Amino acid sequence: MSEHTSTIRWDVDEDGIVLLTLDDPEQSANTMNERYHRSMAETVDRLEAEREQITGVVITSAKKTFFAGGDLNDLRQVTPADAQRFFTGLTEIKAQLRRLEKLGRPVVAALNGTALGGGLEIALACHHRIAIDDGRSKFGLPEVTLGLLPGAGGVTRTVRMLGVADALLKLLLQGQQLRPAQAKETGIVDELVSDREELIARAKEWVKANPDAVQPWDVKGHKIPGGTPSNPRFAANLPAFPANLRKQLKGAHYPAPHNILCAAVEGSQVDIDNALVIESRYLTELAAGQISKNMIKAFFFDLQHINNGGSRPAGVAKYEPRKVAVLGAGMMGAGIAYVCARNGIEVLLKDVSLAAAEKGKAYSEGILDKAVSRGKLTAEKRDEVLARITPTDNAADLAGADLVIEAVFEDVSLKHKVFAEVEPVVEPDALLASNTSTLPITGLAEGVSRRPDFVGLHFFSPVDKMPLVEIIRGEHTSDEALAKAFDVVLKIKKTPIVVNDSRGFFTSRVIGTFLNEGVAMLAEGVPAPSIEQASAQAGYPAPVLQLMDELTLTLPRKIRNETKAAFEAAGQPWASHPAEQIIDRLVEEFDRKGKSSGAGFYDYADGKRTGLWPGLAEHFPATPNELPFTDLKERMLFIEAIETVRCFEEGVLTSVPDANIGSIFGIGFPAWTGGVIQYIFGYEGGPEGFATRATQLAEKYGTRFTPPAVLTDPSAREKLLGA
Ligand code: NAD
């Protein structure tokens, strides 16, 4: 017998075991949408009505994954005005799961694939969870990464299963996604099997062997592992929870972890039904707020748009690079060689001497050895990856390469020289890419004979950790080359954004405004610790002066001087920035050039930061009039947002998802904003509200804050920024 409700199939076998197969007919993955909601209501009604004929229930899915979670399209529509409707919907979903776990018959989740968020929450409402040990599927409650919390019982049930501390640390606060073996170890999966057939058979066996299954929390006297605040030992440790969270977030405003903590701790002090209500309240507050909307937009919709090829020219066949010539085995070249080899591409790593090239290869060895020693990689796999890297000092060895990535010193004539040397040797249609961070791509392309095949591939340091690659389209770059570059970036498991050629492209140009703004505050007499604190509280991953030290003070000076010369050559006026005098004085008067030279805004001992340089307070004394702290935070966010809009106006940027993701992944724009353009749209009052505030900042701090006119002109804005 097989019948359809709209998303749940019902099959019953001769033993009376009902197999419920989740299978939303209108989507490739199951989500907690309206159809699920209705189907689950009908299914639970029927289970209760036919209880006497039922031995137990097995829930599985017909999709590749088990269940994808909450419906993010629905979730991002929630507003404060319809928060009550949302709360009621949540209450109903939870009531269904409660009825399922109190059916009086064993219910088993047969996890045929990934179960994240809402998917895992359905499984947690089952008495037993079995998953396929495929090494790939993921289990977890990643809601926090979207500014939300698992509100279909995820907080409440994991707290009861694992205890408050483990639930928070192992699942909820970081949204870890666990592979099958880790999920079993953590305790959210009970058993692993080898394949789908075994999965269902084993689930049914469990049903038959456990006719009286009940949830532990429905047994009288159930105690939460590790205790609750009513236990003196637990209570004594309680203040450490918010303190640690604050430390981790460095004071930045992320309401989701805060609400998760509250829901877990408060919920642990009441029975499960009341805990579920508390959880719903905390989720409703998050869902109705702006930050979850920002994060859903960036980390789900924008990322999906990019990964689906939003900025990849259409109609170009997929490119599979086989052999890459990496020119320069320094910091960047070594990292690029590693990520290419790790992702299956043969690497010819060239430097001026064999020793330098081998040193570049040793960098990969270091990373791989560490992974082996931590049990994350087998020794065979390490050897396999290393065997793909061939160091050389001879251009003739680069024959057969179908991709070139150049990472020699930042010098136009050197770059021209190395391309002239390798172009005749590599494949005649090899993609030619430069990792320059500042030099215009069109000018670099003048050094090759096949200019349409030349493109910028701007990696970020450290290459093995940073997820972004900025692809730069030069004046002559063909669609085919751009599409190939896009495929290369996906192949090495990075996120590509595409920008048009200009000085500093998008990322270097915009991060420059952030750094300058921080330094300008010092010129105005804001104490350095306040500047650092303001950037941390705004949500930047590294405080602004600390970051400047890491990037060196000499690099922005060099870029500034080159830009200034280019402006003067073009007859354009050059407006100097208040940060310049500070940087010049630090470098020229005090010989403080940044971290690599052992002294910058901070002091260093053995390469380690020891504290802000006391001389800052002496040579750049604080003024008695304190500027509002909100101004300090917003100046950094605003100046980057305004510069990004200018990048759109000048045609450097053409894609809002690329701008948002590029800003978060590449230059540390705070994740809670949803990225640099989403920050403008999510600001109180929308783009108009942003423009009003920018005008205030311009009046107080300088015309660089004058909002671009496009922000307050809806039709121009729609054309430029799509909304
Ligand atoms: P680096 O100084 O660490 O490495 C440069 C390497 O190029 C050296 O090993 C050098 O021996 C080698 N080299 C010089 N001439 C060569 C030649 N003729 N043939 C082969 N190799 C040669 O520099 P880096 O930090 O790796 O930067 C390299 C490029 O990447 C620059 O264009 C830089 O702007 C860009 N970049 C750097 C960063 C960063 O954070 N450092 C980030 C993005 C892009």
Of 88, 95, 120, 142, nearest to 260 (Cα)?
142
Ligand 1 pocket: which of 327, 351, 547, 665 to mutate (most atoms <8 Å of CB)? Answer: 351
Task: Give tens-digit pLDDT for 6-46.
Answer: 899 999 999 999 999 999 999 999 999 889 999 999 999 99
Mean pLDDT along residues 594-611: 95
Q: Is the pLDDT of residue 99 over 50?
A: yes
471 Cα–ligand 1 center, Å: 18
Q: How many Å apart are CA 121 and CA 101, to the nearest integer?
A: 12
Can you list the positions of beta strands (E) in 454-572? 454-459, 468-473, 495-500
- Residue labelled with tokens 């490119």: 319
Please name each of the domains of the chain with its CATH number.
Answer: 8-212+224-288 (3.90.226.10), 323-501 (3.40.50.720), 508-721 (1.10.1040.50)
Interaxial angle between packed helices 379-387 and 354-373, expressed in degrees from 0 to 180 and rounded to the nearest 10: 160
* Pocket flag, ligand 1, residue 439 (CB < 6 Å): no
Of 136, 131, 134, 127, nearest to 177 (Cα)?
136
C-beta separation of 598 from 604 below 8 A:
yes
The predicted model scores a pTM of 0.93
What atom of ligand 1 comes closest to residue 411's alpha carbon? Answer: 32
Question: Which one-letter DSSP state was computed for residue 594?
Answer: B
**Tokens describing residue 269:** 């002090």
- Please list, in sequence order, all residues whose beta carbon lies within 8 angstroms of the beta carbon of residue 376, skipping any fewer than 6 positions away: none
Task: Give tens-digit pLDDT for 339-386.
Answer: 999 999 999 999 999 999 999 999 999 999 999 999 989 999 999 999
Task: Give tens-digit pLDDT for 477-532.
Answer: 999 999 999 999 999 999 999 999 988 899 999 999 999 999 999 999 999 999 99
Burial class of residue 264 in the structure, from the number of CB atoms within 10 Å of its CB (0-12 exposed, 13-18 middle, 19+ buried): buried
* Pocket flag, ligand 1, residue 459 (CB < 6 Å): yes
* Pocket flag, ligand 1, residue 511 (CB < 6 Å): no
Interaxial angle between packed helices 629-649 and 528-538, expressed in degrees from 0 to 180 and rounded to the nearest 10: 60
C-beta separation of 435 from 332 below 8 A:
yes
- Residue labelled with tokens 């423009």: 691
C-beta separation of 131 from 189 below 8 A:
yes
Q: How many Å apart are CA 616 and CA 602, to the nearest integer?
A: 9
Ligand 1 pocket: which of 392, 409, 466, 472 to mutate (most atoms <8 Å of CB)? Answer: 409
* Pocket flag, ligand 1, residue 79 (CB < 6 Å): no
Tell me what pLDDT residue 555 has.
Answer: 85
Ligand 1 pocket: which of 332, 459, 461, 463 to mutate (most atoms <8 Å of CB)? Answer: 332
* Pocket flag, ligand 1, residue 409 (CB < 6 Å): yes
What atom of ligand 1 comes closest to residue 551's alpha carbon? Answer: 40
Residue 563 three-state SS: helix
Amino acid at 602: Y
C-beta separation of 114 from 139 below 8 A:
yes
- Residue labelled with tokens 């909450």: 70
What atom of ligand 1 comes closest to residue 350's alpha carbon? Answer: 20
Q: How many Å apart are CA 282 and CA 318, to the nearest integer?
A: 45
Q: How many Å apart are CA 517 and CA 587, to the nearest integer?
A: 18
Of 488, 483, 486, 485, nearest to 315 (Cα)?
483
412 alpha carbon, distance to own chain's centre? 33
C-beta separation of 168 from 241 below 8 A:
yes
What atom of ligand 1 comes closest to residue 436's alpha carbon? Answer: 32
Tell me what pLDDT residue 328 has.
Answer: 97
Q: How many Å apart are CA 391 and CA 239, to the nearest integer?
A: 54
337 alpha carbon, distance to own chain's centre? 23
Q: How many Å apart are CA 51 and CA 31, to the nearest integer?
A: 26
Q: Is the pLDDT of residue 262 over 70?
A: yes
**HSE (side-chain half, CA atoms, 13 Å) at 139:** 34
569 Cα–ligand 1 center, Å: 28
476 Cα–ligand 1 center, Å: 24
Q: Is the pLDDT of residue 674 over 90?
A: yes
C-beta separation of 531 from 632 below 8 A:
yes
Tell me what pLDDT residue 723 has.
Answer: 79
- Please list, in sequence order, all residues whose beta carbon lies within 8 angstroms of the beta carbon of residue 106, skipping any fewer than 6 positions away: 56, 57, 127, 128, 206, 207, 210, 211, 212, 213
User: Rg of the chain over CA atoms, in angstroms?
Assistant: 28
595 Cα–ligand 1 center, Å: 18
Q: Is the pLDDT of residue 1 over 70?
A: no
Q: How many Å apart are CA 229 and CA 227, to the nearest integer?
A: 7
Beta bridge partners of 498: 471
Task: Please list the helix, strand and coil fractions of the chain in percent, rounded to the nearest 5, in that order.
Answer: 55, 15, 35
351 Cα–ligand 1 center, Å: 10
* Pocket flag, ligand 1, residue 333 (CB < 6 Å): yes
* Pocket flag, ligand 1, residue 362 (CB < 6 Å): no
Tell me what pLDDT residue 251 has.
Answer: 82
Q: How many Å apart are CA 140 and CA 65, to the nearest integer?
A: 13
- Residue labelled with tokens 């969870």: 129
Mean pLDDT along residues 198-212: 97
- Residue labelled with tokens 């304190």: 626
Q: How many Å apart are CA 628 and CA 608, to the nearest integer?
A: 32
Of 428, 510, 496, nearest to 466 (Cα)?
496
* Pocket flag, ligand 1, residue 462 (CB < 6 Å): no
**Tokens describing residue 11:** 């099959």
Q: How many Å apart are CA 383 and CA 340, to the nearest integer?
A: 15
First to last CA, the chain: 50
Q: How many Å apart are CA 619 and CA 624, to the nearest integer?
A: 15
411 Cα–ligand 1 center, Å: 9
Phi, psi of 698 (to 5 degrees): -65, -40
Q: How many Å apart are CA 533 and CA 20, to the nearest integer?
A: 53
Phi, psi of 152 (to 5 degrees): -105, 40
**Tokens describing residue 383:** 């050897």
Of the pLDDT bands very low, low, confident and very high (cuts 50, 70, 90), residue 606 is very high
Residue 456 three-state SS: strand
**HSE (side-chain half, CA atoms, 13 Å) at 358:** 3
Specify the residue with its C-alpha closest to ligand 1, atom 8: 330
Specify the residue with its C-alpha closest to ligand 1, atom 42: 460
**HSE (side-chain half, CA atoms, 13 Å) at 377:** 18
- Residue labelled with tokens 């694939």: 113
- Residue labelled with tokens 């680069």: 398
% pLDDT > 70, the chain: 99
Q: How many Å apart are CA 16 and CA 4, to the nearest integer?
A: 18
Task: Give tens-digit pLDDT for 328-347.
Answer: 999 999 999 999 999 999 99
Q: How many Å apart are CA 238 and CA 639, to the nearest integer?
A: 40
Amino acid at 517: E
Specify the residue with its C-alpha closest to ligand 1, atom 15: 408
- Residue labelled with tokens 């729609």: 718
Of the pLDDT bands very low, low, confident and very high (cuts 50, 70, 90), residue 3 is very low
What atom of ligand 1 comes closest to residue 360's alpha carbon? Answer: 9
Specify the residue with its C-alpha closest to ligand 1, atom 9: 330
- Please list, in sequence order, all residues whose beta carbon lies within 8 angstroms of the beta carbon of residue 249, skipping any fewer than 6 positions away: 257
C-beta separation of 143 from 113 below 8 A:
no
Q: Is the pLDDT of residue 74 over 90?
A: no
Task: Give tens-digit pLDDT for 120-175.
Answer: 999 999 999 999 999 999 999 999 999 999 999 999 999 999 999 999 999 999 99
What atom of ligand 1 comes closest to residue 333's alpha carbon? Answer: 26
Ligand 1 pocket: which of 352, 394, 419 to mutate (most atoms <8 Å of CB)? Answer: 352
Tell me what pLDDT residue 5 has.
Answer: 52
Phi, psi of 350 (to 5 degrees): -110, 135
* Pocket flag, ligand 1, residue 408 (CB < 6 Å): yes
Phi, psi of 111 (to 5 degrees): -85, 100
* Pocket flag, ligand 1, residue 457 (CB < 6 Å): no
Active-site positions?
121, 143
Task: Provide the mean pLDDT of the chain.
Answer: 95
C-beta separation of 53 from 120 below 8 A:
no
What atom of ligand 1 comes closest to residue 415's alpha carbon? Answer: 18
* Pocket flag, ligand 1, residue 461 (CB < 6 Å): yes
32 alpha carbon, distance to own chain's centre? 23
* Pocket flag, ligand 1, residue 374 (CB < 6 Å): no
Mean pLDDT along residues 712-720: 94
C-beta separation of 301 from 312 below 8 A:
no
* Pocket flag, ligand 1, residue 415 (CB < 6 Å): no
* Pocket flag, ligand 1, residue 351 (CB < 6 Å): yes
